[in-house]
Structure formats: C-alpha cells, structure tokens
Chain A
C-alpha cells in the first residue's frame, strides 16, 4: 500500500509574455515561494522532480540539468520528467511516487517554461514535433491539429463556435482576480467570434497566450505534514494515460485516454460519481474547446454535453461546479509545464482558503487538476482532498 501523501505548500511567479528572469531564476522564485508557503527550508527536502516542456523554447538543451540549482535539486536525488503539455500535472504525480513509496518524506515538484527566447515566435518550435516525412512537408503547424480536433468535436455533437467561446469569456474574466495573470479580461462571445481567424475554427481569442513562468508545490508524507498542520491537503488520487502516436487514426471527438487516466485516479480516490464527489476542477484549457473536451473525458458531463453545462452557468466560479476558477491557461497564461502546475497550485490554494478574490463561494473539500499534452494524446490527473 502506498503511503499517504500531502501537499504542504505552493508557489508561482507572475506569468507574462516576457520575463527578465532566466529559467533558473524563475524556477528559484516559484520554489522559494512554495517552501515559504510550506514553512520549511531546503535542508528538509529529500528529493526533487523538475518538469519542463520542449527544450527549444528556453533554448537550453538538457533543461533538467539547467534548472537543477534553481529547483532546489543540488546534491539531491533529482530528475526531470517530460510528457509535453501534460508535464505540469505529471510532475507532482512523479513527486507523489517519491513520497508514497517511502523513498522520501519531502519531495519538491517544480515546473518552468520560458517561451519568449524563441524567435520570431514560440509557435515555431512546435513545427518539429510532427512526423518529418509524411506531415511536415505539408507545412503543418501546431494550430492545425487543434483546429482539426475542434472541428471534429463540433461535428460529432453539433456544437457551435459561440458555445465554445463562452469558455474563453469565463476564464479570461476569472483571471482578472489572479495576481499572476497575463490575459485577464472582460470580453464577450462576440469579441471571440470577431477575433482574428488563425486556423479556423480556431480564432485568436480561442487560444491561450505564450508565456514565461514557473510554479512549484511541496509534497510530504502524512506524518511530516501533520507536524505543520492538523488538517493537511491529501493527494487522493492520480492517473495518467496516453493514446496512439498515429494521431490521424484516433477518434478526435472524444479523449478516451483522459477517461482512462481519470478512472485510474477516481479508483484510487474512491470516487464513484465524479460530478458529485468533486467540488471544483482545474481542467487543461490551452484552447477553449479543450475545457469542454476534458470535462467530458473526466466524466463531469456526458459526451457532447459540456457546452450545455457551461451555458447554464454551472461552471462559473460561483456556480454549482466551478471549472477553472483560476482563470486557466486562457486567462492566467500558458508557460506550458508551469501552466499545468499552476492548476495544481490553484487547487491547493482553494482547498486551504488562500485563493483570495478567486476563492470559490461554496465550501470545497475535493479538487481536481488535469493537464494534457504530447501530440494531443496524453493526460495527467491529480485529485487533492481536505477533510
């Protein structure tokens, strides 16, 4: 049986288009804040896991090694994990193994991304993630694959662009209350519809920005956590799963791999009815349709019904089932691995009543963070619970 594991602290930097800090310095600032929030020092940290997405953004090969000192990993058992966009939620899952296995009492999970160095635009790096022989010659860009998935999702369930745009409107408004947010804004569905067409149906305001930033959490054994607080936040469950690399052979309208990951986490957490037993969730929203797609994969809504749930207002921060009270990637920003970790931080802040103006109205005990990545095929799910 794995040991019980708790989250005892969280920290993050501002998310911005361009930051002065080096990647190491960003990692340090988030990690320092997480340690301070836990009320512990680095000398009490046994192991460290760093997470970061493709090296091409920061422009530093072997970013794990590069981030080491800033992540607090010097002279410790340290490693970097990488599952594309899903890295931010996968990193604390890897940290969970370190503690659950009994290997360490305290493990730091640190995620960093600095996308601004890549010129002329960070999107450029994504071009080389596609198959070099049968896809790249066509001129493929990352947006294509999202647009194709969004179109298939719309087709499968007869969903309109306007229904999807509601997610962007909600998340950007939520982000107005996040002190780190890059793109908090009061916008309308019409603004989204009229925004620049990028790769239809994807429009400018359907997309999260590129960002620099870092975020970190501290995980500890129950015994260690109980020395700091009587009422710790527990890791209730985690799951991860991946679909085929042959993406053109997948069912693009439904993320089965996420359902698999979610069921793995729910089983561990003893959750039978996720919609009733989870109080709020931070689901991965690099694009507005992804929030809906993921709500369905997570079994919060039936297939094709997440747009109705969104339109009903249920997923608003003060609604019955808040989704992305932080403001999500659409509002807070998308420094890839750090964005997923930001979601874990948000769940922790909400469960410990530290979310300030973003604190959801209802009392919350169980929250879920989810991220998604690799070539649109990987999902990582983490459930936190406070009694």
Chain B
C-alpha cells in the first residue's frame, strides 16, 4: 500500500469509556446470599439427577428442570479442591476453591491467614464474619479454616 505518509504523520486518538453497573443477584442468588447473611449455606437440589448445586441455580444444567427445592449444606463439610497464593501490596493471601461432599460446584474464598499451609483435600469449615458485618455477599464468609 502506498502510504503517502511518513511515520510522524500517522496519528492516534485517545479516549476513555467509563462504565458503571449494578447487578441483581437473581432468583437463586438473592435467596442464597440472604441465607449466607444468616450464616446458613444452602444448595439447590435436582431430584431427577440427584444433584446439589452450589452456588445454587434455579435450573439443572443437565436435565434443565426448574429447581425449587433447597437443602442445607454444613459449613463444616468442606474440603480444599485447589488453591493458589496471591502476593499483593497488603501481603500474601491464599485463595481456595472449596467443595463439599456430594455437591456440584463450590465456593471461592480465602484460607485463614497464619501458619497453617493449605493442602488439596484438606477438610475445612467456612467461618462467617460477625453477624452485624454481613452484607449478603460471598465475602460474608471471612475465611475457610482447617478442621
């Protein structure tokens, strides 16, 4: 292509796109997070497939049934499925993906800071923030700790 322009003549245009969103938690999310605020963990249940989903969904991704039944999952029944460590300005934090026996899915959270090192398969419990600090968010779980 005959550019007919030298490099200095090529221009750039700079701008920015500020964006802001407010997301609803949805049918399943609203209920799940309100329960979390109460210190309770619940999964939705697909009776056809005999499956529990966490975080809960209003549908089964396999059989596509509408899920209306929910069941308690004990915050003490978790195990570390995988983990990774993040180093940032405020120090090192360990992110864990915690699964629960018999439940499809899992919860992302932090491992309790301290001397204990996480291990895959380690039994853990969800420790909730004090009730007055909970907001109806996944961060209502302060951390997971070794049992």
Binding site for B on A (CB under 8 A): 18-22, 24-25, 28, 31-32, 35, 41-43, 56, 59, 69-70, 72, 74, 116-120, 124-125, 127-128, 132-133, 136-137
Contacts and interface: CB of A to CB of B under 8 A. Distances in A.
B19 to A, nearest CB: 6
Interface string B12-27: 0101010111111111
Top 8 nearest A-B pairs by Cβ distance?
A22-B26, A59-B21, A42-B64, A133-B13, A119-B20, A117-B21, A69-B61, A74-B61
Contact of B23 (A59, A120, A127, A132): A59
A119 B24 contact: no
B81 interface: no
Interface residues of B, number: 23
B59 A22 contact: no
A41 B62 CA distance: 10
24 contacts: A18-B24, A20-B24, A20-B27, A20-B30, A22-B25, A22-B26, A22-B27, A24-B57, A25-B26, A25-B28, A25-B59, A28-B59, A42-B63, A59-B19, A74-B61, A116-B24, A117-B21, A118-B19, A118-B21, A120-B20, A124-B19, A128-B17, A132-B15, A137-B15
Contacts of B59: 25, 28, 32, 69-70
B70 to A, nearest CB: 15
Given A21-B24, A118-B20, A132-B15, 17 more contacts: A19-B24, A20-B24, A20-B30, A22-B24, A22-B29, A25-B26, A41-B64, A56-B19, A59-B23, A69-B57, A70-B59, A72-B64, A74-B61, A74-B62, A117-B24, A119-B21, A128-B17
A345 B59 CA distance: 22
B66 interface: yes
B58 A28 contact: yes
B16 to A, nearest CB: 10
Given A42-B63, A74-B62, A119-B20, A21 B27 contact: yes
Interface string B93-135: 0000000000000000000000000000000000000000000
A146 B29 CA distance: 38
A79 B13 CA distance: 34
Nearest to B15: A132
Contacts of A117: 21-24
A32 B66 contact: yes
Contacts of B24: 18-22, 116-117
B20 A136 contact: no
A170 B119 CA distance: 66
Contacts of A56: 19
A47 to B, nearest CB: 15
A107 B20 CA distance: 35
Contacts of B26: 20-22, 24-25
Contacts of A41: 63-64
Nearest to B66: A32
A173 B30 CA distance: 35
Contacts of B23: 22, 59, 117
A253 B15 CA distance: 32
Contact of A43 (B15, B17, B19, B63): B63
Contacts of B13: 132-133
Contacts of A133: 13
Contacts of A21: 24, 26-27
A70 B64 CA distance: 8
A136 B16 CA distance: 11
A133 B10 CA distance: 13
Nearest to B18: A124
Nearest to A119: B20
Interface string B75-94: 00000000000000000000
Contacts of B19: 56, 59, 118, 124-125
Contacts of A124: 19
Contacts of B66: 32
Contacts of B64: 28, 31-32, 35, 41-42, 72
A25 B67 CA distance: 12
A339 B66 CA distance: 24
